Amino acid sequence: MPVTVRTGASVGRHARLVAALVALALATAACGGSSVSGGKTGGKTGGPVKVGLVVPLSGVYAPLGEDMRNGFQLYLNQHGGKLGGKEIKLVSADEGEGPQTGVPATTRVVTQERVAAVVGLVNSATAAGVRDTVVSAKVPLIVANAGANGVTKGGSPYIWRTSFTNGNVGAALGPEVAKQVGTGTVYIITAGYTAGKEQIAGFKQTFQAAGGKIAGETYTPFGTTQDWQPYLSRIRSSGADAVFSFYAGAEAVNFVKQFAQFNAGGSVKLFGTGFLTEGGVLSAQGPAAAGVQTALHYSNLLDTPRNEEFATAYRQAYNEEPTVYAMQSYDAAAVLAGALSRASAATGEAIGKALADTGTVDSPRGSWTFDENHDPQQPYYLRKVENRNGKFANVVVSKLSNG
């Protein structure tokens, strides 16, 4: 029974309404003698530059938000509280679980706090919901996780992303799964909202193009599903040889644990996008995740000097392993720092222009550049969960593709 939290159409209507309210708020502010690109954003008048950090501090994605905050803060700490030589005042807001909370939180930092740029967003539906707001306010948004495909389309100077597109991360594993499953079939089960739908669509495209066959599909209610047994029964009845899925945060923990009980003999292989076994999620899953194979543009075990440097600093600062969420946010800080160092003023318009000259980013994930839509053109890796010295970890098996 496919269920979605909010349809694209209702998010679109909501976004248009919020954009209209933002335009009104900005016009009112301008009548009062100031504008978003004026001195109140800081920097221009010599004060700190205000940057909005909007990540989940509550709900199923709260641990992802904490990683993102840590990643951003690490970069800031490494540069004496400055980005591009400019003092920064971070304004934090809680994205919560989705657009119902994330859209008003972003709108508030743009219209009331008058930030010069916004960084963050975990949930695809939130990113889709705030797009028009930041574009009409001319405040650059650097999306540091949410993968909604359409958000970056068209390459607006005010929309940039340091994470991934849902379609690309889903597509990365298709050919590999087709190779491993051979003449068998794959059942798809995923969180039933934008991210799950788009990642599955990307996976199906490359999986089916490589000759893969689908046994069935289930889209589970996002944020409320606790019991996967009814869905796991469907997988059993389908006779599938493998499963492909997208879950993240608390949902990934519950799904993988229940899947491991269901699959006690280990005859059904579990694949997914890397969020399924990332960071704190993997520690909570423990042995239940052993053998799970995923695709992602990062692993904390990537054996490169740049990642070693980042991971060591992160462990020292937070006493835990870095995650893809922390890394994407660290890169967002680096990209914003570059733009602030080049911008003619600390205004949304000048920062947006300067972001276009970002060039190659020397990242813990490997080098990447923004493509024409302002999404990363980056490597993807095949990872497998293995027990390494008593701890489960995403071991890098091979490089998959650039996407």
By the criterion CB under 6 A, which residues form the site for ligand BEZ? 122-124, 145-147, 195, 248, 275
Whole-number Å distance between alpha carbons of 23 and 1: 39
Closer by beta carbon to ligand BEZ, 43 or else 192: 192
Closer by beta carbon to ligand BEZ, 53 or else 146: 146
As measured in angstroms, the least distance from the Cβ of 195 to ligand BEZ is 3
Using an 8 Å Cβ cutoff, are 223 and 4 in contact? Answer: no
Using an 8 Å Cβ cutoff, are 324 and 294 in contact? Answer: no
As measured in angstroms, the least distance from the Cβ of 96 to ligand BEZ is 13
Closer by beta carbon to ligand BEZ, 76 or else 195: 195
Closer by beta carbon to ligand BEZ, 36 or else 151: 151
| Residues linked to residue 363 through DSSP beta bridges, in sequence order | 366
As measured in angstroms, the least distance from the Cβ of 83 to ligand BEZ is 25
As measured in angstroms, the least distance from the Cβ of 47 to ligand BEZ is 34
| Residues linked to residue 243 through DSSP beta bridges, in sequence order | 187, 270
Closer by beta carbon to ligand BEZ, 285 or else 347: 285
Closer by beta carbon to ligand BEZ, 145 or else 190: 145
Query: Which segments of 173-231 are extended strands (E)?
Result: 185-191, 213-220
As measured in angstroms, the least distance from the Cβ of 223 to ligand BEZ is 11
As measured in angstroms, the least distance from the Cβ of 95 to ligand BEZ is 10
Give the strand order in the sheet containing 117-120: 82-83, 86-94, 49-55, 117-120, 141-143, 159-161
| Residues linked to residue 160 through DSSP beta bridges, in sequence order | 142
Whole-number Å distance between alpha carbons of 72 and 60: 21
Closer by beta carbon to ligand BEZ, 145 or else 401: 145
Rounded to the nearest angstrom, the gap between the alpha carbon of residue 305 and the centroid of all alpha carbons in its chain is 24
Buried b (16+ CB within 10 A) or exposed e, 381-398: bbbbbbeeeeebbbebee
As measured in angstroms, the least distance from the Cβ of 128 to ligand BEZ is 10
As measured in angstroms, the least distance from the Cβ of 44 to ligand BEZ is 33
Token duo for residue 316: 């020292």
As measured in angstroms, the least distance from the Cβ of 292 to ligand BEZ is 16
Closer by beta carbon to ligand BEZ, 186 or else 248: 248
Token duo for residue 390: 């008593």
Listed in sequence order, the residues at least 6 apart from 187 whose beta carbon sits closer than 8 Å to its beta carbon are 214, 215, 216, 217, 218, 234, 235, 238, 240, 242, 243, 244
Closer by beta carbon to ligand BEZ, 263 or else 298: 298
> The dihedral of CA 253, 254, 255, 261: what is its sign?
positive
What three-state secondary structure class fits 34? coil
Using an 8 Å Cβ cutoff, are 285 and 253 in contact? Answer: yes
